[in-house]
Amino acid sequence: MASNKIQFRSIHELKNPALNNKLAQKEFQEEIPVEDFLEDAETNGSGTSRRDFLKLLGFSTAAVTLAACEAPVIKTIPYVVKPHDIIPGIPNYYASTYFDGFDFASVLVKTREGRPIKIEPNPAAGDLGKTNARAQASVLSLYDNDKVKQPKFEGKDETFDKVDSYVIKGLEEAKAAGKRIVLLSHSFASPTFKKLFAEFKAKYPTAELVTYDAYPYAAGLDAAQEVFGTRALPVYDLKGTELVVAFQADFLGDYNGGGLESSYAAARKPGQSMLRHIQVESNMSLTGANSDERIRLKPSQVNKTLVEVYNAIVGGGSSDKTANEIAKELQTKGSKAVVFADGSKGAQVLAHLINQKLGSVAFTGKANFLKDFDKARFQEFLGWVNAGQVGVLIANNVDPIYSYYKGEDFKKSLAKVPYVIAVADKKNEMYKAAKAVIPVANWLESWGDIEPQSGVYSLMQPTIQKIYKSRQIEESLLVWKNGKNNAANNYYDYLKASASSILGATSFNKALYNGFNSSNNNTMLSYAGGNGAQAVAEVSGFKSSDLELVLYTKTAMGDGTQANNPWLQELPDPITRMSWDNYLTMSPKDAERLGIDNDLNARMQLDGSIVNLTVNGVTIKDVPVFVQPGQAEGSVGLALGYGKKNSGATADTGVNAYPLFDGSNLAVSNVKIEKTGEDHEFAGIQLQNTLMGRYEIAKEVPLADFLNVAFDDEHKGWNKPLEYHTISGALPARKIDLWDAFDDTDGPHFNMSIDLNSCTGCGSCIIACQAENNVPVVGKDEIRMSRDMYWLRIDRYYSARQKVEVYEGLKEGMAVPELYGTAFNKEGGALNHPADNPDVIFQPVMCQHCNHAPCETVCPVAATSHGKQGQNHMAYNRCIGTRYCANNCPYKVRRFNWFTYNLNDKFDFNMNNDLGRMVLNPDVVVRTRGVMEKCSLCIQMTQTTILEAKKEGRIVKDGEFQTACSKACTTGSIQFGDMNDKESEIRKLYADNRRYYLLEEIGTKPNVFYHTKVRNRVEK
């Protein structure tokens, strides 16, 4: 029963059911170019056959050996005096706070020999310690070779002394003339920073602190101020909630400042009180992809439905059928229900008022202080600039010229400001507009504190000396306030003194060690207002048009703060599976109506139409279009944060959508598109990884069946154990073996559990694996060639909502049944096309570490073998790159290393420069070309854990064994442990009725198992 739906990964599989079979027959899109180094005329004239390859294998092996002999010798310099806190080969961990103006997390920073190499969640911080993909990748941004490396004056390198003299001169002139001194900064919830600015203002009375955020949360803050009387976002907790209804709110993404993933996953634990999730939206968002019921509507219709739901609950009722059904469910659940809305201030006010009426327990009353943008004050600031009232403008790592929708006007108005100082990390537009530039210190080089929400105080400490001549804004304010060379200019001392008044009895050193502490700021929110009629009028006033645009932030890119981070640019979008791009998402029906194409070429690479996008008279040129299943007809979507010019080679990717965003309304109407006639080359991993067969891959079951039907019921069982029919009768698949089993009960035997019910597809595990295991970035061209190097991927499967008539056998050459013309409703009419509104399942796939690994039996040089602890090992120096193992792997998790990615100018990311290579983990070898590589279940981490316990004379405790992906998983979907520990969590997960194996029928006996996804809805 768990597999009564048809699963597909793209609409191309629906159009051409033989496509999967075609891909499976040719996994590698390009043969090994042996002829390139043989210099044989006859061989060069044709492709290399298997027989030719084997004949030439001896030479190939010799060539690889010779190449290895030519590897560069890099000598290291030992310590003259070794620091006491650094032991070579032993990592140090420092509690700190990740904050870059957009994202926040309380973290542990792993350092090796004085350099940060990995970001870990701080378990003491609970939900505030969860790290998303951007937090995991932020360590690479520290080693960005495109950073501004020292102070500049009039475009030339200069000293801090010269720049400070210039700034102080400007400050004194502005003070004498009565002109305003404006510090324009991103949201900065630092009590010590605000205290310091108050002292700065005491010296310069005309000084003003103005907040500017590229993605400003203005609508949410305005709504909170109206409803709660406090300008702070409300904090929610879904653990006690049984129903969530979201209107355009991507609450598993960046909505409301983020942070709901873990409580959402906890509430989604299958059972009688499992959270039910209804999503009403236009774009196929990450949150919508995880929902039980997804209602796709264009923005104007979403607004209408929200108003009708509000009327049904708070007002006098509604005649809208969909709204009444939603309202009925909300009223039934009462306080155990919650509503989220996004897109405009009015929408969020209505959501707050509905929650107040319901008495929702998800509303904690705590305040989120991380965002404090005030649009009215920013407009006031623009008025000061245009009126020539600003004498000094100090921009703290913000670039309104790029991200403000009237950026060009702002750029022109800067000519009226005599002193423009940019505290910047890149040579962006503000850098070019400023006369003096101060390089901003990375958060890993800085001292600081953050008050993220009520009752919480988090400290930031440097984990490395400043790599270049940079300075955080607080250090600059001290110099400008106290004068140059003043003994009081040490920000560490200033922070320590300030923190003491917040920490109370806790010492500063203890608080620094914890990273995450209690605060005396216990501000609580309560419902105090909210004009429902005005909100209804605002939401209803959204003008409908033929096409309506929804702007959003991507999981990897966010607001674009880390746009020059190649790990994030290459990270595939969880929904589209495309990387290195933003694009206009469009429904299949609209694409057909407008003549928009997405086609696969002969190499199975995706090409798409390019359009010019015009919204209310503003045109964005050359926008590629991606045809997205589940996109509402009449709507299109476009991600913010891309197309950053002069911010590094990697950042100049995609198109800048900020000119279409007024800072408050994410949905806009009056949208027109014009085809340019050109095509765009997408880089995606949508189709390149093919598993044997198409059924029982990502299992799902309705909640009613999960609760009421035995999983192994003979007729209706939704997870019946696989059996083989033998001469002795039916036997469980795991009991049948061609080989004699060996004793693996001595010592640990590792297994990994992955729960499809709690995996949201966020991608933090992928970046964590990349950081831990030195996985290279290959770039857009190589991704397009199907040559990604990821050791871990998250497959995204669509499945048809309606039951589809399936043939007894598959048509010859087909890997999925024909879906056209086979499904009809009770009245005899054809059902909606499966691509209109499919269900989505996310499934992390890594090496399954099979106990009977097909890769091991075919390797001619025994480069891959099985360990007693259950891990499938790779000896890279033995591997000669035959790729037999990859061809024999049914899970397609092995990667062939085509190139030497480090010290190679072809791959201008982080491994081809000395600074970028500082992020590499010395515990994991950097692989070279010609070898196969894949997940090792982080063997370096498991062995370290064993050795630490051995040194301490104890056994390893449950929970100590971890992998990079399991530590980074925000929802606890990935669990890792020792199966030989009878009391371990992994043993309990193994005994769960939802447990199953990928492709169990082929007898590989993996050490990775999955748990069936449960959907809380009544199947129709």
**Alpha-helical regions (H) of 667-708:** 703-708
In this predicted structure, what is the pLDDT of residue 846?
94
* pLDDT interval class at 415 (50, 70, 90): very high
**Strands lying side by side in the sheet with 793-799:** 7-8, 793-799, 839-845
Coil, helix or strand at residue 120 = strand
Query: Which two three-digit tokens encode residue 8?
Result: 């597909």
Q: Are 222 and 342 in contact (CB under 8 A)?
A: no
**Token pair 């993933």: residue:** 261
Distances from the Cα of 564 to the Cαs of 395, 574, 715, in angstroms?
20, 20, 55
Report the alpha-carbon distance of residue 967 to residue 122 in Å, rounded.
Answer: 10
Residue type present at position 193 = F
Ranges 178-192, 646-660, 832-846: which has the least confidence: 832-846
Report the alpha-carbon distance of residue 992 to residue 711 in Å, rounded.
Answer: 10
Report the alpha-carbon distance of residue 37 to residue 35 in Å, rounded.
Answer: 5
Report the alpha-carbon distance of residue 860 to residue 879 in Å, rounded.
Answer: 9
Is pLDDT at 46 greater than 70 in this prediction?
no
DSSP at 918: G
Phi, psi (5° rounding) for residue 502?
Answer: -95, -35
Q: For the segment 566-612, what is each residue's pLDDT rounded down to a tens digit?
A: 999 999 999 999 999 999 999 999 999 999 988 887 777 888 999 99
Report the alpha-carbon distance of residue 14 to residue 823 in Å, rounded.
Answer: 14
Report the alpha-carbon distance of residue 651 to residue 670 in Å, rounded.
Answer: 29
Q: For the segment 444-498, what is each residue's pLDDT rounded down to a tens digit?
A: 999 999 999 999 999 999 999 999 999 999 999 999 999 988 999 999 999 999 9
Is pLDDT at 76 greater than 60 in this prediction?
no
210 has which bridge partners? 184
In this predicted structure, what is the pLDDT of residue 96?
93
> In this structure, how many other beta carbons lie within 10 angstroms of the beta carbon of residue 840?
22
Of 965, 943, 959, the C-alpha closest to 871 is 943
**Token pair 């911010």: residue:** 647
In this predicted structure, what is the pLDDT of residue 552?
94
Report the alpha-carbon distance of residue 582 to residue 78 in Å, rounded.
Answer: 46
Report the alpha-carbon distance of residue 932 to residue 898 in Å, rounded.
Answer: 9
**Token pair 């429904």: residue:** 587
Distances from the Cα of 908 to the Cαs of 448, 608, 777, 927, in angstroms?
33, 26, 9, 17
Of 927, 626, 577, the C-alpha closest to 784 is 577
DSSP at 785: T
In this predicted structure, what is the pLDDT of residue 106?
93
* pLDDT interval class at 65 (50, 70, 90): very low
Stretch 951-955: mean pLDDT, rounded?
91
Q: For the segment 374-400, what is each residue's pLDDT rounded down to a tens digit?
A: 999 999 999 999 999 999 999 999 999
**Token pair 């399954």: residue:** 848
Average pLDDT, the chain: 86
Of 624, 908, 933, the C-alpha closest to 779 is 908
Ranges 215-229, 318-332, 639-653, 795-809: which has the least confidence: 795-809
Stated length of the chain: 1020
Residue 856 C-alpha from the chain's centroid: 34
Report the alpha-carbon distance of residue 448 to residue 460 in Å, rounded.
Answer: 5
Please give the share of the chain, as a percent, with pLDDT higher than 70: 87
Report the alpha-carbon distance of residue 379 to residue 375 in Å, rounded.
Answer: 6
Of 38, 70, 44, the C-alpha closest to 57 is 38
Q: Are 104 and 91 in contact (CB under 8 A)?
A: no
Is pLDDT at 847 greater than 90 in this prediction?
yes
Residue 1013: partners with Cβ closer than 8 Å, 6 or more residues away: 698, 699, 700, 701, 756, 757, 841
Stretch 708-716: mean pLDDT, rounded?
86
Strands (E), 229-382: 233-236, 243-247, 276-281, 293-296, 337-341, 363-368
In this predicted structure, what is the pLDDT of residue 613?
94
Is pLDDT at 940 greater than 90 in this prediction?
yes
| Virtual torsion, Cα 540, 542, 546, 548, nearest 10 deg | -120
Q: For the segment 340-369, what is each residue's pLDDT rounded down to a tens digit?
A: 999 999 999 999 999 999 999 999 999 999
